[in-house]
Structure 1
Amino acid sequence: MILKKILPFILFAALFSCNSNKVTQTEDYKAYLTTSIDNEKLMSDAQFWTDKLESQPKSFPYLVKRAGAYTDIFEATGDIDYLIKAEKDLLKSIAQTNGNYASHLRALASNYISQHRFKEALELLEKAKENGEKLKSTKKMLFDVHLELGNYMYAESYLNEIKNTSDFDYLIRLAKWEDHKGNLEAAIEQMEKATAIAEASNLKHLKQWSYTNLADFYGHAGELEKSYNHYLKALELDNNDAYAKKGIAWILYSYENNPDEALKILDHISTYYEAPDYDLLKAEIADYKQDADLKSEALNNYKKAVRNDMYGDMYNKYNVALYAEDMLLPEEALAIAKKEVENRPTPQSYDLLAWSYFKKGDVEKANAIVEEYVEGQTYEPEVLYHIAEIYKAVGKTEKVKELKSELVASLYELGPTMAPKIKQL
């Protein structure tokens, strides 16, 4: 059973009908819908190190500095080119130094985590661990990667090794671990402690990261006003925080039944930030509005974007859903799901595999995968919905009833298009 704050009954009713609840105020965020990125300023740091490299091409510290600048550009714009450019610089720096700097290995591992290349990140971190330089920093990242790979015993072991209840890095990982276990209240408690440390440190990037992550947790718990206010706090620090704006758009769409305002925010984000999954959110909202033209346009934009080979396996999860559901091509979905299980054998990846088999019509195979690899090992609402549909198909009526109550409690996270699907379980 998920240990989470259950949304008030009034919220359940509202999510099944027209929602009159409101936490947002246009005045709060409208100033952030006219912002734009100063590209010249954003690129200046990378250009500075490029100039340095032209005069000293074998200076590996300049490569590392430029990689950091490229990573900043990627994070600000979502432009995948710069994440790959950062990877290339880090590979060069590691080659020039024979891999003798653990910090370089950690930096490349972080880049690979962003690319969802978790097994390669793990190899780098094991080398960094052997090196011994700033071992605690390496162990923190080893927790991250093992958690992403579904190696939960190793993840917990590293979490215990870095234990320090006054350390920001430990607390955010403890929050992530509690969330993984389904202990949402405990996750929020730890994230609140980490946020307090970030505020005391007065470091902008730590505060901004803390606010958006805490906002997400509050949203999962149904504390929408707190969620909204923390997205606003992040935007006060960085007017161009696309993730925070997306969070507000989700509240408008999923809680306040205001899809047009949500789309307005997403359209603004698209003027400076590239991320294919934002197009999928537009498509979902268009589906809710029954706007077939807008949905088609958004899905086409997504498909065009992910044809870029630089994305690699970053959008496998989304592609499985797209092929299995919107495009009705379960064979293609199955091929991607198998690849994702190979890359990242987590309960979530096995769920994609089970869902692909289910959509292909192989219900018994889907049920077997769920029983062995998924049930009781993850509490993500989307996964629980897939399990419920599969169990319904094989006649597990009592288990479906239990899952349905959990799904009703998670409707805000799932979005209003899921309400009729959950009703029919």
Structure 2
Amino acid sequence: MKPYIPILALFLIFSCKNGEHDIVAHADDYNKFLTAVPTKTTSKYFELWNGKIRPDSMQLTSFGIVGGEYSRYFKETGDITYLKKAEQSLTKAVEIASIGRAGYRRSLARNYISQHRFKEALVMATEARKLGADPKESQFLLFDVHMELGNYGLAEKYLDSTKNLKDFGYLIRLAKWNDYKGDLDATITFMEKAKTIALESKNEALTLWSLTNLADYYGHAGRLKDSYEHYLNALEIDPKNAYAKKGIAWIIFSNDKNPEEALRILDSVTMTYNAPDYYLLKAEIADYMGNDLVRLKNLNEYFQRVENPSYGGMYNLYNLGLYIDETKEYEKALKLAKQEVQNRPSPESYSWLAYTHLKIGEKDRAKELMDAYVVNKTYEPALLYHVAAVYKAHHDVQKVQEIKNELIGAIYELGPLMEKQIQDL
């Protein structure tokens, strides 16, 4: 179990008893970033290369550049259309490339990862490694794919093969590995080293990535002021960064207990950013406020958006949660959970499958799955809650209490709505 949680738990229990918490966020810090300016999704540079693509085109450079631009537009807008267009361009580049073949396969693999098409990503990553060009980049990619698939032994093998404590790519993956192992202190240490390298290189994209990821890790560690400052620093670089604004909104909601302000921030984000999960967060906040009208409005917006077949399985886990907790469609949830295990046989997927079995009354099957695929294989609080629920159904008081103690320390990460559910374990 994570060693840092019990200490944090004691702090949070003490704070709750005293009814006090420190306000972290202040509107004067971030108001200037909340203007809703649409992202520009074209340029003379893009039009030049896009114009070279014809139905029978064989101009490799055009497909690679256009695919990269579409990927950037997706990151900046959350619009799935751009991710699919990037896939089309990169698929064509893979088909026709005689040079740079490994690089195009790696780019297409990363596109598949974004779409949660992990097994297809593994095929591309494996092909790229066999081609031999830039082997370190292919090994980094294979680490990423195997972590997503829950193949942790193979992921560790690829991580060890790239060891270099002065390499940004290695350090961020070493941080991810330590987070998986439950060592948050080491995770933060390596991410801080990666941030230093990014700053020294003056690489804006790497710096932005470092700041937002480090902000997340600081939040998990209860270092909320550090987390907040890093999100603000990210916005200084990229004032439109939706992820950083979402991070600030979570601090305001979960720690500062100011749901109205959190919603104001998210409303400004969703005016120009289109990812469906932002509407789920807005619905969660509205639920906490007791505003059923706003909650249902945002849930409806989420469901309408994820009906788009272009999303494929990207929102399967979100949908699972809704089928179980919102609509009580347990059989539908079971079918989707089995599908997700096939697509991504990770502890997270198995946790949802086990939890679904519990909900339909199959508590023995739920425990079998938890013991085989989840227990001691993940330290994610949301998944540990599933484990605790299964053990509670089996009247294992001691194990439930152990997990409950950890979950109390993770209330910030889980959110205010989970607090009562944790106390009821």
Aligned to 1:128: 128
- Distance in 2 separating the partners of 1:38 and 1:83: 15
- Distance in 1 separating the partners of 2:398 and 2:155: 33
Contact 1:15 1:411 in 2 (8 A): no
Say yes or no: does 1:319 pair with 2:323.
Answer: no
AA in 1 matched with 2:37: S
Distance 1:271 1:170, change over 3 A: same
- Distance in 1 separating the partners of 2:217 and 2:99: 38
AA in 1 matched with 2:63: L
| Per-residue deviation, 1:37 | 3.0
Contact 1:164 1:170 in 2 (8 A): yes
RMSD: 1.7
3-state SS of 1:34 partner: coil
User: Scaled by the length of structure 1, what TM-score is found?
Assistant: 0.97
Contact 1:129 1:138 in 2 (8 A): yes
Deviation string 1:128-182 (CA, Å, 9 cap, x unpaired) is 1110011111000000001110111110000000000000000000000000011
| 1:186-205 equivalence runs, <5 A | 186-205=186-205
- Distance in 1 separating the partners of 2:145 and 2:361: 34
Aligned to 2:146: 146
- Distance in 2 separating the partners of 1:88 and 1:309: 16
- Distance in 2 separating the partners of 1:90 and 1:391: 46
Aligned to 2:263: 263
3-state SS of 1:314 partner: coil
3-state SS of 2:377 partner: coil
| Per-residue deviation, 1:52 | 2.8
Contact 1:4 1:221 in 2 (8 A): yes
Say yes or no: does 1:92 pair with 2:102.
Answer: no
AA in 2 matched with 1:194: A
- Distance in 1 separating the partners of 2:39 and 2:352: 40
Distance 1:12 1:235, change over 3 A: farther
| Per-residue deviation, 1:13 | 4.8
| Per-residue deviation, 1:261 | 0.3
| Per-residue deviation, 1:389 | 1.0
AA in 2 matched with 1:116: H
| 1:16-415 equivalence runs, <5 A | 20-39=21-40, 42-54=42-54, 57-97=57-97, 101-415=101-415
- Distance in 1 separating the partners of 2:293 and 2:69: 39
Contact 2:36 2:272 in 1 (8 A): no
AA in 2 matched with 1:307: E
3-state SS of 2:51 partner: helix
3-state SS of 1:39 partner: coil
Matched residue pairs, number? 424
Range moving further from structure 2, 111-120 or 43-52: 43-52
3-state SS of 1:84 partner: helix
- Distance in 2 separating the partners of 1:72 and 1:277: 19
| Per-residue deviation, 1:9 | 3.9
Contact 1:12 1:411 in 2 (8 A): no
| Per-residue deviation, 1:60 | 1.1
| Per-residue deviation, 1:73 | 0.3
AA in 2 matched with 1:360: I
Identity of aligned residues (%): 47
- Distance in 2 separating the partners of 1:138 and 1:110: 11
| Per-residue deviation, 1:360 | 1.3
AA in 2 matched with 1:280: L
Contact 2:259 2:285 in 1 (8 A): yes
- Distance in 1 separating the partners of 2:273 and 2:342: 31
Gaps of 5+ in 2: none
| Per-residue deviation, 1:194 | 0.4
3-state SS of 1:133 partner: coil
Aligned to 2:416: 416
Distance 1:62 1:123, change over 3 A: same
- Distance in 2 separating the partners of 1:378 and 1:100: 37
Distance 1:255 1:15, change over 3 A: farther
Contact 1:191 1:214 in 2 (8 A): yes
Distance 1:19 1:63, change over 3 A: farther
Contact 2:36 2:271 in 1 (8 A): no
Distance 1:16 1:347, change over 3 A: farther
3-state SS of 2:174 partner: helix
Deviation string 1:92-130 (CA, Å, 9 cap, x unpaired) is 111122697100100100100100111101111111111
- Distance in 2 separating the partners of 1:43 and 1:31: 26
AA in 2 matched with 1:370: M
Deviation string 1:270-325 (CA, Å, 9 cap, x unpaired) is 01101111111111111111111111111111111110000001011101101011
Distance 1:108 1:250, change over 3 A: same
Contact 2:39 2:272 in 1 (8 A): no
Aligned to 2:12: 11
3-state SS of 1:263 partner: helix
Contact 1:49 1:66 in 2 (8 A): yes
- Distance in 2 separating the partners of 1:43 and 1:97: 25
Range moving further from structure 2, 215-224 or 294-303: 294-303
3-state SS of 1:23 partner: coil
3-state SS of 1:64 partner: helix
AA in 1 matched with 2:294: L
- Distance in 2 separating the partners of 1:328 and 1:18: 34
Distance 1:17 1:272, change over 3 A: farther
AA in 1 matched with 2:268: H
- Distance in 1 separating the partners of 2:182 and 2:43: 41
